[in-house]
Structure 1
Amino acid sequence: MKTHPVNSNILRQLWSTVEQTQTSTLLGLNDTDLVKQLLGQMEKQKDLNSEETNTLSAYIYSKILLIRDLAQARLVNC
């Protein structure tokens, strides 16, 4: 399956969404549910076509450890 690059505006929106999502959600959900949660939040903000959704889903999966590390850092810095 060929993957396409993620649009930079969508990436900015995703990372903003990650920052706005509660730490307990980012750390408490399993990988699949976290991806679904973030995709759902993104789709509320912007209509994504199926290609964008698939690409974004793959991107989020590839960044799960970073997302959880950032959430963990929030706990330490509070």
Structure 2
Amino acid sequence: MKPLLMRQLWSVVESIQTSTLLALDDDGLVNFLADRLMTGCPGIDRSDRAELDGYLQAKVSLIRDLANGRSVA
């Protein structure tokens, strides 16, 4: 995955409320984050979507762990 895309993705993850990240099921979370990134970052094209979905699917547990950490802090 392109470094710029990765930075933008994690910025989007940090900007979303913890309750939203924890409320969605895995597929819903992947789709929600990918859609937010695709609409919020005009430099990203549709060809990046499959790679983005795969990366997000692999990082769902990490995203949930980070969200849980924010809710405790």
TM above 0.5, yes or no, is yes
TM-score when normalising by structure 2: 0.92
Percent of aligned positions that are identical: 40
**Which of 1 and 2 has greater Rg?**
1
What is the CA distance between 1:49 and its match in structure 2? 2.9
2:71 paired residue among 64, 71, 75: 75
Aligned-partner Cα distance in 2 for 1:21–1:11: 16
Aligned-partner Cα distance in 1 for 2:10–2:3: 11
Aligned-partner Cα distance in 2 for 1:56–1:71: 20
Q: Larger % of helix: which?
A: 2
Runs of at least 5 residues in structure 2 that lack an aligned partner in the other structure: none
Computed over aligned residues only, the root mean square deviation of the Cα atoms, in angstroms, reads 1.0
**How many residues matched?**
72
| 1:65 counterpart SS class | helix
Runs of at least 5 residues in structure 1 that lack an aligned partner in the other structure: 1-5
| Runs of 4+ residues deviating >4 angstroms | none
